[in-house]
Amino acid sequence: MTVIASYSNKGGVGKTASAVNIAYCLAKEGHRVLLCDLDPQGASSFYFRVKPSKKLKGDRFFTDVKRFTDAIRGSDFDNLDILPANTEFRDFDVFLARMKRSQSRLKKALKSVGNDYDFIVLDCPPNISTLSENVFKASDAIVVPVIPTTLSERTFEQLVDFFKEHRLERKKILAFFSMAQATKKLHGETMRRMRKQHAKRFLDVTIPFSTDVEKMGIHRAPVGSFSASHEAASAYRKLSKEVAKKA
């Protein structure tokens, strides 16, 4: 069982888009996948038309394994299950706090359903900086979308520093450029610079800015399911392969 977190210390960068499409592509390859929507906004649940679970109460949710597994829903796609967002469960910090700062707890809770899954993909909410250490420890890979702008460059460096300071394994960080626009000079320059500076952190694949990704909101489905032949879909396929290989 491999845990992949889609994470960024910056909002709106494409975490959810990556989590949804990586999960879909892995499942399509025949892996058994659980996508956990840890964002109370429920963005990834929305993309799979899964309604937030009513039964779950925040307090006991993540401490009670049965509640956790009972909440899982089958998606419309073979091999892909969803742990829907829970509206009662306000923030991810609470969950991680309940894990009592023990890095093994999350893994253990996930392992209790682990017989069923080859990959667990976590769609992390924005702004979890204080307790993100737990996510980093629990995951085998942390997929970090980076929009190639100067601002992103700064935040990405903060993330790498955080790993250094906390003696976390930096090689878990699998960064990639997200929403890249070839026509923008700034994007090209930033990408070249960052690839040089963080050569080991960046994956080869780049996810281009694409209206297909935006259309996910209309179709309420992963890109590959309605626009399999387009650029974005094939970029996500490549991304999921690279991630699966390195995780």
Partner 1 sequence: MLATLGHLRPALVSTALSKKLVGAKIGDARLVREGEDDQKAFTLIDSFDNQIGAADMALIATKNDLVLIAPDTAVARQDFAAPDFVDHMPEGPVTAKLGKIVNPLRRLLVRAEGTVSCQMLKMVDDLDKTVARCRVHSFVPESGTAACMIEFMPLRGYDEEMDQLTAFVASLGEPLGTVGDIARALRGPGADYTSKPVIAMTPDQTSFHVATDIIRAQIAVARANEPGVIEDIDSEFLHDYRVALRRTRSVISLFKGVFTEDQTQQFKDRFGSLMARTGQLRDLDVHLLDRQAYLELVPPALQPGIDKLFDSLAADRGAAHAKLARFFNGQAYLREMDKLEKLFAAPKRITKGPEAERPALAFAQALIWKRYVKVCKIAGLIDDGTADEQVHDLRIHCKKLRYLIEFFAPLFGKKDTKVILKSLKTLQDNLGAFNDYSVQQEALAGMLDRLCAGNSKDAIEIATSIGALVTVLHQKQTEERARVVASFTAFNSEKTSARFRKSFKPGKTAA
Ligand X SMILES: Nc1ncnc2c1ncn2[C@@H]1O[C@H](COP(=O)(O)OP(=O)(O)OP(=O)(O)O)[C@@H](O)[C@H]1O
Nearer to ligand X, 75 or 105 (CB): 75
Tell which positions 215-244 bind ligand X, by CB under 6 A.
Answer: 217
Tell which positions 167-186 bind ligand X, by CB under 6 A.
Answer: 178-179
Q: Find the part of the chain contacting ligand X (CB under 6 A) among 4-12, 65-73, 81-89, 193-201.
A: 4-12
Residue 4 has which token pair? 């992949």
| Residue 73 interacting with partner 1 (CB under 8 A) | yes
Q: Which amino acid is residue 61, in one-letter code?
A: F
x/- mask, ligand X, residues 36-55, rule CB under 6 A, reads ---x---x------------
Q: Which amino acid is residue 1, in one-letter code?
A: M
Q: Which of 35, 36, 142, 207 binds ligand X (CB under 6 A)?
A: 207
102 three-class SS: coil
Residue 137 has which token pair? 């420890």
Where does residue 239 rank: exposed (0-12), middle (13-18), buried (19+ CB within 10 A)?
buried
H or E segment at 205? Answer: strand 202-208
191 three-class SS: helix
x/- mask, partner 1, residues 28-67, rule CB under 8 A, reads ----x---------------xxxx----------------
| Residue 169 interacting with partner 1 (CB under 8 A) | no
| Residue 116 interacting with partner 1 (CB under 8 A) | yes
Contacts of residues 224-230 at CB distance under 8 Å and 24 or more positions apart, as own/partner, are 224/21, 224/24, 224/25, 224/28, 225/24, 225/77
| Residue 214 interacting with ligand X (CB under 6 A) | yes
Residue 39 has which token pair? 């964002």
Q: Which of 16, 45, 75, 132 binds Mg ion (CB under 5 A)?
A: 16
Tell which positions 192-221 bind partner 1, by CB under 8 A.
Answer: 220
Residue with tokens 């690279």: 242
**Alpha-carbon torsion 199, 128, 223, 215, what sign?**
negative
Number of residues that bind ligand X (CB under 6 A): 19
* Residues at the interface with ligand X (CB under 6 A): 8, 11-17, 39, 43, 126, 178-179, 207, 209-210, 213-214, 217
